[in-house]
Amino acid sequence: MTEPKLRLNLTNKQADTNVTAAKVKQASAKKKAANETLDEAWQRILAMKNSSPDQERLLAVKKAISEGTLGRSPSDAGKRLSKAECLRLYKELADQQREETLRKMVEKTPDNYWLIQDEATLDKFTAIVQSEKEIVFDVETTGTDIFEDYIVGNVITAVSADIHAYIPTKHITDGKQLSHDLVIRKLKPIYEDESIGKIAHNGKFDVHMLAREGVTVKGFAWDTQIAHHILNENERISGGSYRLKDLVTKYLKIPSETYDTLFGKAGFHEVSDLKVALAYAAKDGDVTLKLRDFQRLHLEKIGLLEYYESVENPTIDVSLEMEQAGFVIDKERAAQLGEELRKELVGIENGLKKHFGDINYNSPTQLTDKFFGELKLDRYLPKNFKKSTDVKTLKLLAPHHEGIALLLSYREKTKLLGTYIEALPQQVRKDGRVHGSFNQAGTVTGRFSSNSPNLQNQPGFARKLFVAPPGQVILSGDFSQQEPRWLSHFTGEEVLVNAYRNGQDLYSTAAAELFGLPIEECGDGSKYRKMMKVGVLAVMYGVGPKTLADQLGISEKEARQFVDDFYKAYPKVKAWIDNNEKTAKKKGYVEMFMGRKRRLPEAKSRDRFEQFRAMRQATNAIIQGSAAIQTKLTMIELQKLCRRKGWTLAWSCHDEVGAYVPENITFDDVKEFEQVFLNTVKLNVPNKTDIEISRRWGEGHTISEWFKSKEDE
């Protein structure tokens, strides 16, 4: 009976030995740390798995310590140098550098930077500005929310006089400032004088802010942010940005610190030293002018100055008008739909519990364990297919398990509820409308995008929450087959061109031609028409055989054969696409309508994968970019029509443009609206647009339906 005791004693001795060893190891480590040199500490810290930003910060601290401009805290002096301490020191270093940068900015402020603090100087300056042909303008604000933040100062550059002024009005400072109302009253005639050209960077923001002060900016002549997108639409792709300071540093070689670097998250009103405010704000006007001159020179060299001035610059005003119009949201309908969705989700969750138990259906980890650990559903996936809970994988699993279909429905309805039904009413501003933003330079092809809300992503379910303002209706036009018409225009392929000229359905006509079938068998709803539609889009968008096979539900071999047959039947399409690729390889770019370029530098790469990727973009860029230009030109003309009629241009979504018009709109009014779509940009095939009139987006009536219903009232 002594054996267990013996074992216990041995176990205790072993434990004591382990503790002793640990203490010895710890003591050894402390001794080693105490004897560690600073160089050894840096070798250890810099060898860690640091992120790139952290590594840069650590190196900056190391340099500052070695130069003697930064020292360790006395409380840390006896401790081993750690990464955490170094990152704390970086904050101290950043503050030092910021103060030094601001000091030098003030010290080097040019003589032609004016800080205007009294009425006499303001009057002198406005007299100079009123004789100018163009000015740069910018407003400094408390933040970037055009509805909640406010203006604290005005920046104006008198171009010919070469004076860059800052007029502070609402800084938290002991320095002298003019009355805000006085300054706005004095500047309003200048801002609203159309004969004085206005230059800005991201000028929409400034125009919106001034509009809240009762100022309507007129004569907008140049936006350096938009213009730069014409010069280099790949700026972000190549790791750059369209921020003013980044552009002037990169292209003009003028060192310029960003706002965040100098002031962090503080609003400009918190800059209490008005000399600092002048040095920063007046420089904005100065470098914006220099950047405009640089852009104008280069746009003229490449033959795109006229394009910018006739298309992109007027489109800025179109975007402004649409953003100011806003959207009316049916809050009652949203609440009703939200309640219905919540009830549906309760039922779906009960079904999910029966299938999968009480787990978190939003947790990829728990779902993965359930699907592939417990239920072994990976047996239904193709070999080497990644075990995932993404939509693509779930769709493959859905036919094999009822609960997966429920989960897909759960995700769809949860997104509808959170992203659309609940989110939209929360975005309503003080004026009772949702005001999103429209970006004419948001894509590399120049196609319009929007956000807050993103109209392009609004499902039909959510579109019905957008309604016309009281006493008005939504009049909208949607280009019919806009991009295939451009394909027909560029290629001159007879079957495609004649189908449009004869008013026939392109896809049915082309399908009958390709498959050798009577057109009656290729009508709407037929598999042949669907194949042709998908095939034409695949050709335009550079879709590969695998993706095309998935879209058509055929094998990859059959998809390749389909494309081959398509090109044989339509050789002009093939010749045009081949020429696009040849041009891209030779020049590194392709040209859209009006000569706008889509740069594809990878087309000249020796890397076959990069070159292949560029080739797939070449044709799509020409078609999508040209369609985008057509839409912009059409919107410019629609804005003119709306202003003549007293209507409001309200939004753009894909190929559709909508306006708010009076309920008593006439048939002739609607036909004028339609004619703008049909005739603004003429192709070698007729344009077509689908016109709808509605009180609620997504529940539109055709022209004949609308006026028939009005007759019946």
Query: What's the distance, CA 328 to chain centroid?
Result: 23
Q: What is the pLDDT of residue 616?
A: 87
CA 395, CA 290: separation in Å to the nearest integer? 54
- pLDDT class of 225 with cuts at 50, 70, 90: very high
Which residue has better confidence, 553 or 263? 263
Distance set, CA 10 to CA 2, 19, 163, 173, 655 (Å): 12, 14, 89, 76, 82
- pLDDT class of 263 with cuts at 50, 70, 90: very high
- pLDDT class of 70 with cuts at 50, 70, 90: confident
Q: Which of 334, 372, 340, 370 is nearest to 355 (CA)?
A: 370
Which residue has better confidence, 164 or 514? 164
Q: Is 164 helix (H, G, I), strand (E, B) or coil?
A: strand
Residue 375 near residue 401 (C-beta atoms within 8 A): yes
Q: What is the mean pLDDT of the chain?
A: 91
Residue 61 near residue 90 (C-beta atoms within 8 A): yes
Residue 215 near residue 188 (C-beta atoms within 8 A): yes
CA 651, CA 649: separation in Å to the nearest integer? 6
The C-alpha angle with vertex 619 and arms to 615 and 625, in degrees rounded to 5, equals 125
Q: Which of 661, 655, 658 is nearest to 628 (CA)?
A: 655
Q: Where are the beta strands (DSSP E) in 449-551?
A: 449-451, 466-467, 472-479
Query: What's the distance, CA 163 to chain centroid?
Result: 35
| Mean pLDDT of the 487-512 span | 94
Q: What is the pLDDT of residues 575-618, one digit of tens each?
A: 999 999 999 999 999 999 999 999 999 999 988 889 988 998 99
Q: Which of 262, 126, 137, 281 is nearest to 209 (CA)?
A: 137
Residue 435 near residue 326 (C-beta atoms within 8 A): yes
Q: Which of 222, 223, 221, 217 is nearest to 201 (CA)?
A: 223
Q: Is 121 exposed, middle or buried (0-12, 13-18, 19+ CB in 10 A)?
A: middle
pLDDT at 6 over 60: no
| Sign of the dihedral defined by the CA atoms of residues 573, 576, 578, 581, in that order | negative
| Mean pLDDT of the 458-471 span | 90
- pLDDT class of 1 with cuts at 50, 70, 90: very low
pTM of the shown model: 0.86
Kindly state the DSSP code that residue 594 receives in the 8-state scheme: G
| Mean pLDDT of the 172-176 span | 96
The least confident of 54-68, 347-361, 649-663 is: 54-68
Rg, the chain, Cα only: 32
CA 382, CA 550: separation in Å to the nearest integer? 14
The CA-based diameter of the chain, rounded to the nearest angstrom, is: 112
Quick check: bond before 453 cis, omega within 30? yes
Q: What is the pLDDT of residues 176-190, one digit of tens each?
A: 999 999 999 999 999
pLDDT at 667 over 50: yes
Q: Which of 640, 237, 558, 597 is nearest to 445 (CA)?
A: 597
CA 383, CA 365: separation in Å to the nearest integer? 21
Q: Which residues pair with 139 in a beta bridge?
A: 154
Q: What is the pLDDT of residue 232?
A: 95
Q: What is the pLDDT of residue 72?
A: 86
Q: What is the pLDDT of residue 382?
A: 84
Kindly state the DSSP code that residue 701 receives in the 8-state scheme: B
pLDDT at 248 over 60: yes
Q: Which residues pair with 15 in a beta bridge?
A: none
CA 101, CA 104: separation in Å to the nearest integer? 5
| Mean pLDDT of the 262-266 span | 90
The least confident of 29-43, 231-245, 372-386, 545-559 is: 29-43
Q: Is 339 exposed, middle or buried (0-12, 13-18, 19+ CB in 10 A)?
A: exposed
pLDDT at 629 over 80: yes
- pLDDT class of 97 with cuts at 50, 70, 90: confident
- pLDDT class of 38 with cuts at 50, 70, 90: confident
Q: What is the pLDDT of residue 29?
A: 46
Q: What are phi and psi of 495, to 5 degrees?
A: -60, -45
Q: What is the pLDDT of residue 549?
A: 86
Distance set, CA 545 to CA 272, 476, 539, 553, 618 (Å): 62, 36, 10, 12, 17
- Count Cβ atoms below 10 Å from residue 186 Cβ, excluding itself: 18
- H/E/C letters for each residue in 596-628? CEEECHHHHCCCHHHHHHHHHHHHHHHHHHHHH
pLDDT at 27 over 50: no
Q: What is the pLDDT of residue 15?
A: 53
Distance set, CA 612 to CA 64, 161, 412, 585, 618 (Å): 47, 52, 35, 10, 10
> Kind and range of the H or E element at 166?
strand 163-168
> Kind and range of the H or E element at 230?
helix 224-231
pLDDT at 305 over 80: yes
| Mean pLDDT of the 646-652 span | 96
CA 41, CA 34: separation in Å to the nearest integer? 11
Type of residue found at 143: G
> Kind and range of the H or E element at 141?
strand 134-141
CA 656, CA 651: separation in Å to the nearest integer? 8
Q: What is the pLDDT of residues 406-425, one digit of tens each?
A: 999 999 999 989 988 999 99
Residue 259 near residue 150 (C-beta atoms within 8 A): no
The least confident of 95-99, 145-149, 180-184, 660-664 is: 95-99
Q: What is the pLDDT of residue 249?
A: 94
Q: What is the pLDDT of residue 266?
A: 92
